[in-house]
Structures are given as structure tokens and as C-alpha cells.
Amino acid sequence: MSGYVSEAVIRRLPAYNRHLHELEQEGVLQISSQELGERMQLTPSQIRQDINSFGGEGRQGFGYQVHELREHIRKIMGLTQRHRMVIIGAGRIGNAIANYDGFDHEGFTTVAMFDNDPEKWKQNGKIPVYDVSRMAERLPELEPDIAVLALPASAAQEMLNRLYEMGIRAVWNFTPVDLQYARDVAVVNVHMSDSLQILSYLMKHQND
């Protein structure tokens, strides 16, 4: 990667990966910034600026090699290696994440779930569900690099602290809580109600 990559560009990388994957499936070998911009609803100059910022290369008059660009983006995003996830919380959100096949196709494999409800300590399909009190025992053998928080908000901060002590440094947080964490931890929050509120705003102002 060359130079500084802004957070805005980083947040667009999954969209680049998705659209380029679709193009691969369609048999497209190369694409111009104009064509890619039309698919992604971005200007050609924005496409070129984004791709230049993370070290992608195009050819004047020929555009970008679709497979080459996608592999470059996947490498930047760390998607050329598999990631092992544990889900803390075997309720509706936790089970929805565990049962979604798309994550595994992108290299994210759920290896176990943890919950404090004895009625949930069983297999969820192929995924074992363990007593949350056994995390310290189980995590070394499971070797996860990502923890998914899908538990009650009141328990989220304490759980994050415990996971940190056990060596977890990447967290996907589905609880409606802004967690406090050390600088060496990567946390991505998924606040679903926030998205609905943004949608409500767009609906209200779409004709302004």
C-alpha cells in the first residue's frame, strides 16, 4: 500500500471487492474507471484516486485488470488468509451470524460459540456451543483471532476486558455500546438501530 489511506477509502474497500468479484463471475477481464464508477455510483476521478491511494495500477486507455485488482484489494484487507471467529452469545443475533454461509466464503470461519445458558450448550449445526465460563480453557485450542460480541449490552465491556486478557485483539461488536478498549485492539461496531435512524433521515429529506 502506498501512502496514507483514509478511513473513507478503507470503508469502500469491501464494495470494491464485492463489485470486482461480480465482474469476475461475469467473465469481465478489465474495466475502466468510468465503468467501475457507474457500478459503484462513484465518479471516475474518485475511483482513480481511491485505487491510487492503496497502490492499485491501471493502464492508460485500458483501465484495470479485474482479477489483479481484486487480489490486490483482498491482500490489503487480509482476506488471502482465513480467520477463525468465536461468537459470544448464542441468542438470535449470534445464531444468525453463525448460520450465515457468506462469511465462510470470504474466509471467516466460526469455530465455536459461548453462552451462559445451559440449554444452549449443544451443537449449532457443526458449531459447538460452550459454557462461557470455559472460555479461558477453550480459546487456546480454538485459536480464534476474532471475537463476535452478540450478548447483552450490560455484559459487553466486561467481556471485552476478559477477551483482551486472553489475547483477542479483534472484536466485531453487535451490542449497542461504545466500548472502551486499548490502542492495540481493532473493534468494529455494528449498531443496527443507527442504520435505521440514518434511513429515517434519508426518507425525510430525500425530496429536499
Spell out the per-residue pLDDT of the chain, length 208, in tens.
444 578 899 999 999 999 999 999 999 999 999 999 999 999 999 999 999 988 877 776 679 999 999 999 999 999 999 999 999 999 999 999 999 999 998 899 999 999 999 999 987 788 999 999 999 999 999 999 999 999 999 999 999 999 999 999 999 999 999 999 999 999 999 988 998 999 999 999 988 7
- What does the block give as the cell for 79? 482476506
pLDDT value at residue 61: 67
Count of C-beta atoms within a 10 Å radius of residue 202: 9
Tell me the three state secondary structure of residue 19.
Answer: helix
pLDDT value at residue 172: 98
Every domain of the chain with CATH number 1.10.10.10 lies at: 7-76
Every domain of the chain with CATH number 3.40.50.720 lies at: 83-194
Would you say 60 and 22 are in contact if contact means Cβ atoms under 8 Å apart?
Answer: no
Q: Which CATH architecture has domain 7-76?
A: Orthogonal Bundle (1.10)
Assign domain 83-194 to a CATH class. alpha beta
